[in-house]
Structure 1
Amino acid sequence: MPRRSKGLSATLITGALLLASVGAGGVAHGAGVPAPHGAAAQAPAATRSGHATAASVTTSPEDPDGDGYIPVVPAVTGVTPSTQDPPHRYFHEFQANCSVTRTATDDPIVYPQQPGRSHDHTFLGNTTTDAYSTTASLEAGATGCKAPGDLSAYWMPTLYNGDQRILPVGPQVIYYKAGVTDYTSVRPFPKGLRFIVGSPMQSADEFRHHPGFVEGWECGDSYFNTEFPATCPDRADVQLNIRFQAPSCWDGRYLDTPDHRSHMAYPVVKPGTNDNVCPADHPVALPMIEFKMAFPVNGDMSKVRLASGPGHTFHYDFFNAWDDPTLKALVDHCIVGGLQCDARGYDQTHPEAGAALDENYELP
């Protein structure tokens, strides 16, 4: 996506209005909801009491001119989407097991430097994530993930049952997988990459047919739900679950763009094959993140909702702050190596391959 002139971006940003309704539990994320793929610029607007106001340029230490573009230096050039078909491996993944660290009405991607502007979010991973988070601040923080090297921030709209927050308990499963057929072409995330998966403004139909949709909301024997099931089995072993996958092809140019999406894309099917490849304008294959969240709620689900609204408004955010050598070791060993790894980078079915990290989840 070509970079627009700063003058044009500023005009679009300052002159735009976004109408959004206030979701139960907080101010609507829709106020600064990323525009559809390819839209010109983010147009954050205040939406308290449901009223939209004229947007203004938002600056941050990483985007001082407030145009929404954060270039990567140096840019990754000369990459052609791989169409190779390596030896078949059923798995090429590892887990990042991360616990909830806090909830807050902050969003450092959509509303940087604006605490309290968002609807309520549940944060996992980095323990310092707030409205003021930058790559540098996350790198200086601590983590709720098993691997100390995973200082990344992950967040999603908070789930409520009535007025009670329902937070995932214990380490949650965040998969890092190959989204393309040539798993050997996957490389680590660039430091500071950030993006949003899904949208709080998507319709139920858009949610159901989103390329990241895996199984929707599920509990007990109920699967592929766009909205929360009316009831779930009232048993201790039953929780509400969702799985949702992120785009994994990068343009190689920007760590963020005004809509927080356009620098990323989902793989496409190569014509005449069943192979997944990156599109030509997003040629760099990165790990595909998959959220697999479990919420301890069951029984009567009639009052269950998200801070962003109904079940179909589910979305999540990712801000990469991994220690570079640790992430590279896991990507190379587990994804490129065609293994099914835990958070140590160990595949129980292939013990001969060893682990990428030691018993403390650190590089040996």
Structure 2
Amino acid sequence: MIHDFYGNKVANGLSTIDSIYALGDTSCEEATDGASYWIPGLRINGKMFKASFIKIYYFGHLTFPVSPIPKGLQLIAGNPKATVADGNIWWNCPDQGLMFKPPTTCSSKNETVLALAMTLLFPNCWDGVNIRPTFTYKNAIYDGGKPCLADYPVRIPQLRMHLLYAITDKEKDLSGAQFSLNPVKETDGSWTWPWTGLVGLHADFFNGWEEDTMKFIVVNCLNRNTTCSFNLPRHYPNVTQSFALVGSKKANPPFLLVDSTSVPFYKIDIPDRARTSSWSKANLDFYSYNNQQGVGNKWLNLFQVTADQIRQFFVDNPKGSVSIYFCFRSNDADQTYSIASTSNQEHMPLVWFLDPTKKQSQDNVVMSSPYVQPPNPSESSSGTPAPSTTAASTTGATTRKVSTISGTPSSTTTNSPTSTTTSTPGSTTTNTPDGPSSGSHISSSFLLTVITLLLSSQFI
């Protein structure tokens, strides 16, 4: 089968969980998205087409909370052997609008370059046991708008993959359009390369998200009905201790007061895995508000430290944990502020270890080319042919991006569950087509002075 791969750039048909998590380069905009997404090659009138745009959304649910997608989970949407339209695959052409079965023609009154668009919905109820499906068993099913069934009890975020193929007037007749299928070895030892009609569209997903990042998406975005922002954290430990010194007494209410008499402190324990994991900076995020009337509360992305600084902390502290203490003071003596403490369960202060260090690249790929039959596949020891793959981190005459975390499609109504988007062909990013929601992390309009007091595991 000829496949176009997106996202993880070391992925292929023989990838394992270990190879997917080897932190290879990604064509997604969000660097922590190490997942691989792939679709069969599309052939129209003897020409092979690659998607010029691919965007992937991760949706939560308004009623039922979702669980993180487990490491290495593989899912499939659609069926290469289908003979009837799949209700979880949508189609769109400029003049026809949204369709729930493959179109036979695709036309536009005003354009010579047409847009053949497809949306695939992935199953979102997992059996909780099997990491991959087989030809005879589904490891995940669709919820049908209801609670997950007992045999598939784990509700996971639902992926929605949006594909767009730029075709011309010469390809507007889609009656003969085909997707690639697995090669077949005949009894005489020769190989044939079968094809299926558009009804056989399907897509595969191989989870390679950093586990902490996937947890962050679920806990802080999808289950809070909040749109994620760019630069998801690779790790995000909670602040481990907080208190305010008022005179000589310590206090830790849900909100700590910042004024001329109260000095709040945060203690941050740097996780040991930060010694080796890939990231370039760390941000301290906490919930805060100005106590003056009419000023709203906001997340405050306040303090930033570079990877080199943290690594120096480990050099200075080769044994045991590394802790950083911060105190907060107001720059304005006439105003007071409240900041969330570690006893505030709704707005627990966090440290984001961000990871833009993994190489992100987009390759300019020819949008279409004449079909050339691949060489006969080599056989593994089990006699199974190795898949023929076409690596495609980006498609189209110009580089296009595909997305994966945070954001809601423009066609989604305001009461739809929160989603995260990730872009494939290109770098992965959490982007929001409609702009950040009110729950997004934004900078505060006021300033606090943050002072690093001590680098030590023993303080107070």
Which one has the largest radius of gyration?
2
Cα distance change of structure 1 residues 236 and 194 upon mapping to structure 2, 3 Å threshold: same
Count residues with an aligned counterpart.
223
Whether 1:152 and 2:28 are equivalent positions in the alignment is: no
Q: Distance in 2 between matches of 1:156 and 1:227?
A: 16
Match of 2:179 among 285, 295, 306: 306
Selected match of 1:354 from 424, 441, 458: 441
Choose from 96, 116, 138 the match for 2:20: 138
Query: Normalising to structure 1: TM-score of the pair?
Result: 0.56
Tell me, which stretches of 5 or more residues in structure 2 are unaligned? Answer: 181-194, 228-405, 408-428, 443-460
- How far the C-alpha of 1:166 sits from its partner, in A, is 1.3
1:245 is matched with 121
| Partner Cα separation in structure 2 for residue 227 and residue 138 of structure 1 | 33
In the alignment, structure 1 residue 191 sits paired with structure 2 residue 57: no
Residues 114-125 of structure 1: pairs in structure 2 closer than 5 A? 119-125=1-7
Structure-2-length-normalised TM-score: 0.45
Distance 1:161 1:349 in 2: 38
The 8 Å contact of residues 127 and 152 in structure 2, kept in 1 or not, is answered as: yes
**Residue type of the partner of 2:430?**
R
* Consecutive unaligned residues in structure 1, runs of 5 or more: 1-118, 270-275, 356-364
Asked if structure 2 preserves the Cα contact closer than 8 Å seen for 1:222 and 1:229, the reply is no
Rounded Cα–Cα distance in structure 2 between residues aligned with 1:182 and 1:261: 28
Residue of structure 2 equivalent to 1:283: 153
Deviation at 1:255, TM superposition (A): 0.5
Q: Distance in 2 between matches of 1:135 and 1:236?
A: 43
DSSP-derived class of the 1:329 partner: helix
Q: Does the residue aligned with 1:330 lie in a helix, a strand or coil?
A: helix
**Is the 8 Å Cα contact of residues 149 and 322 (structure 1) preserved in structure 2?**
yes
Q: 1:225 to 1:218 in 2, by over 3 A?
A: farther
Secondary structure class of the residue paired with 1:256: coil
Q: Which has the higher helix share?
A: 1
Aligned mates of 1:319, 1:154 — CA distance in 2: 7
Larger RCO (CA under 8 A, 6+ residues apart): 2
RMSD: 2.4
Residue 344 (structure 1) aligned to one of 415, 419, 430:
430
Q: Does 1:264 align with 2:140?
A: yes
Deviation at 1:224, TM superposition (A): 0.9
Share of identical aligned residues, percent?
A: 23
Distance 1:236 1:186, change over 3 A: farther
* In structure 1, distance between residues paired with 2:67 and 2:149: 16
Query: Is the alpha carbon distance of 1:259 and 1:231 closer, same or farther for their aligned partners in structure 2, counting shifts above 3 Å?
Result: closer
Aligned to 2:63: 182
The answer on whether the counterparts of 2:74 and 2:133 sit within 8 Å (CA) in structure 1 is no
2:207 is aligned to 320
Code of the residue aligned with 1:254 in structure 2: it is N
Equivalence for 2:93:
218
SS of residue in 2 equivalent to 1:129? coil
CA distance in structure 1 between the aligned counterparts of 2:91 and 2:52, rounded to whole angstroms: 20
